[in-house]
Homo-oligomer: A and B are copies of this chain.
Amino acid sequence: MPSYTAPVRDMQFLLHDVLKVTETDIPGYDDLEADFTAPVLEEAGKLASDVLAPLNPVGDHEGCTLENGVVRTPKGFSEAFDKLREGGWTALDCDPEYGGQGMPYLLGTAVGEIFVSANMAFNMYQGLTHGAYSAIHAHGTDAQKQTYLPKMVTCEWTGTMNLTEPHCGTDLGLMRSKAEPQDDGSYRITGQKIFISAGEHDMADNIIHLVLARITGAPAGIKGISLFIVPKFMVNEDGSLGDRNAVTCGNLEEKMGIHGNATCVMNYDGATGYLLGTADKGMRAMFTMMNEARLGVGLQGYAQAEAAYQNAVAYAKDRLQGRDVTGAKNPDGPADPIIVHPDIRRSLMDQKSFVEGARALTFWGAHLIDRAHRAGDAEADGLISLLTPVIKGFQTDKGFDMTVQAQQVFGGHGYIEEWGMSQFARDARIAMIYEGANGVQALDLVGRKLALDGGKHVMAFFDLVKTFIAENKDEERLAKDFLDPLKAASKDLQAAATYFMQTAAKNPNHALAGSTDFLHLFGHVCLGLMWARMGKAALEGLDAGASETDFLNAKLATGRYYMARQLPATGMHLARIQSGADTVMALEADAF
């Protein structure tokens, strides 16, 4: 059975040596002293290792069941959910006004990674509740907030997001679900929603569904869609639960992975709903929390890779097979551990350098969100808005690849379910799809975010890279190994952006045909920047005489690997992009 240990030291390095959280002027960040964050992460790690990780294969194997409208989660999930609640973990970065602990989103992100690595399917019940909490927090009336938020902060009630219908996923303008206004100000919601994660289950007293639907007479398309709160059980004035609402789970999907999470077909048969935010502005309300939700999915990508990587390392150290060509490393044993083999080492370094780079990018992203929300920094808001599709798309594509590489380290044992490596790959696969499939992320990046506010945010990103390189150019230990490759990669990214600008007027397909390559190119530059930053922080630590020289030297070595072995991908992506749309669009649809 796979095991998991929270990478607390790596997280502390990011928080305190790279992001230097307590030195920033973001409200609430002064709480984040190293001797405060360490025990928080350690405690989360304990829950993850002892309770959540052992339930991960159980959830995969048992899955959820639907009988007479009741969804049962796998054995042990409910007890584990109680522990999550009792530990106050669900309230960590929620508003103290509604019972939250008011911690920065960054800390919530670090803790979230730990829980997601240990058991992604399980953590979704909480994660979706947090998303619905954020939407109500941002758009609800005072009464709505008082009614729902305290119970959602504790996860006594969980939440869901209802967007997709059988005939519409990406193109939500085609939505058919209806909302008929009632005399009392409520709405009658009718329609069918699919792929609703945690839509129905046995771990909470109530489920608060956020549902997109079209109010009678609303404009066609995306501009006529509103967002509604639809509780599973009606909530009485005094907060007690009333009648069952007319919303039911019609079916559970059989999926490739995340079996422990109930993916429901939800039927709304004249259910009572309450408008959340402004009528016809439901998409906007939904999208205000999209950055967070997509960052959270980008996190799932590398968090699954982290869990898979940990187990691949353990196997590579344990499995004896063949000999080191440069001389036996385990001469008294029948063979050497496979970690001696350069191609196994390459695979582990791919995984390690990706995971640590992606964690840095995600933490930086969470830090930007805090800066935007807590310090009202519009530039941080613009930057995270630009980076969100990169974090979501790049990290889930690569994260999945890395789970596959980790599985490969096990040979045939990776393919059988007994070792748990298949589950990491099967679970990670969904992150490439939900919260907007990665092709849609690439479209968002190239078709919208690049040009947003006159291209100001991408220019800010380039400036950031340029400034970092300029400020550190005299540091010889960074120059050749970190700064030169970063500069070259950033140049490729700029050349790609320039190509898009130059061709856009002539034919927008040139940019769109290169969108996925651009997203990956951007991702590599981001991770290159993160590694340069981490390299700098490691050198500072070494120069200051930090005791953990092995840890800091390993950071430098892992960074050098990423720069030498991963960044060269930018040239390939640029070449593909610059080949334009002609070969992509040459065939008629009939020729496929």
Contacts and interface: CB of A to CB of B under 8 A. Distances in A.
16 contacts: A167-B320, A169-B412, A171-B322, A195-B412, A253-B416, A255-B422, A326-B509, A343-B513, A343-B515, A348-B592, A425-B429, A561-B584, A561-B586, A568-B579, A569-B572, A572-B572
Given A550-B591, A561-B583, A342 B433 contact: no
Contact of A512 (B342, B400, B509): B342
B586 A557 contact: yes
B254 A418 contact: yes
A560 interface: yes
Number of copies: 2
A592 B326 contact: no
A317 interface: yes
B568 A576 contact: yes
A110 B528 CA distance: 45
Interface stretch (A87-95, A200-208, A333-341, A493-501): A333-341
A167 B579 CA distance: 49
Contacts of A418: 253-254
B342 A581 contact: yes
A470 interface: no
Nearest to A418: B254
A408 B253 CA distance: 17
A585 B346 CA distance: 8
Contacts of A407: 429
Given A255-B417, A415-B433, A592-B339, A576 B586 contact: no
A467 interface: no
Interface in A522-574: 550, 554, 557-558, 560-561, 564-565, 568-569, 571-572
B411 A433 contact: yes
A44 B418 CA distance: 37
A433 B425 CA distance: 15
Interface in A313-327: 313, 316-317, 320-322, 325-326
A351 to B, nearest CB: 9
Q: Which 4 A-B residue pairings sit nearest by Cβ, starting from the closest? A: A568-B575, A342-B512, A256-B422, A564-B579
Given A253-B418, A348-B592, 8 more contacts: A169-B321, A171-B322, A256-B426, A263-B416, A342-B512, A342-B584, A343-B439, A345-B585
A443 interface: yes
